[in-house]
Structure 1
Amino acid sequence: MKTLEELKVLREESYNKMYMRGMTEGVRVQVGYGTCGIAAGAKPVYDTFVSEVESLKLNNVEVTKVGCMGECAFEPIVEIVESNGSKTIYCLVTDRIASEIIEEHIVKGNRIDKYLLSKIKR
């Protein structure tokens, strides 16, 4: 069992990592991997992000699975969290769109508005 102080430190470290606090560069790609995300095709999307990050040697990009994103009708959902704290949520992502997100958003820094949850959900 951890002491209360150890748990507080662990909580702060987790919070900082989750919100990229203290990071000067880097991107975290969060792929919705709840039941509805998996049913909608999150696995090939996740696999595409992982393989392209590895093949392009993007050492400052972390790809991770997260649970339910809360918008079942728009799965697979991918959230891009940048070191400056900005977040971008893409929806109805396919492996082709995942490749486009890597190339345009992550490598070139250009958000792709046509795939944004806020645009499609209207």
Structure 2
Amino acid sequence: MKSLEELRAIREKMQQQMDLREKSADDIRVVVGMATCGIAAGARPVLSAFLEEVAKRGLQHVTVTQTGCIGVCRLEPIAEVYVPGEEKVTYVKLTPEKVPRIVSEHLVNHSPVVEYTIGAAE
């Protein structure tokens, strides 16, 4: 049995992750493909890396969520970034190690990491 303090810490951490998954119309949205193709290619650690990096930086305007198959299974793991008023950016062949750069350059500084995008992969 965990102590009450440990349980509160776990609850707080999970609540913060749930807050990152709730949408607002003005939020930047990061959507990670989590169909079986994405999961098999390693999407679960990529989703976790996005959640951790956004929480670590305290980004209140970013929502991280998941979806089913995005449709380009050979390029999984895939994440799409939606910035209000801008074109969607699709990142492909992701790894957890690529996530901090995407968060830093795209989500914080509004400069997509072109070498990780679908156009650069094909």
User: TM-score under structure 1 normalisation?
Assistant: 0.77
Task: Give the gaps of 5 or more residues in structure 1.
Answer: 1-17
Q: AA paired with 1:99?
A: P
Distance 1:115 1:56 in 2: 21
- Tell me what 1:5 maps to: none
Distance 1:110 1:82 in 2: 11
Q: How does 1:32-71 map to 2 (within 5 A)?
A: 32-71=33-72
Count of aligned pairs between the two proteins: 101
CA RMSD across the alignment: 1.7
Task: Give the gaps of 5 or more residues in structure 2.
Answer: 1-22
User: TM-score under structure 2 normalisation?
Assistant: 0.77
- What percent of counterpart residues are identical? 37
Q: AA paired with 1:50?
A: L
- Tell me what 1:15 maps to: none
Distance 1:67 1:115 in 2: 20
- Segments of 4+ moved more than 3 angstroms: none
* 3-state DSSP of counterpart to 1:96: coil
* 3-state DSSP of counterpart to 2:98: helix
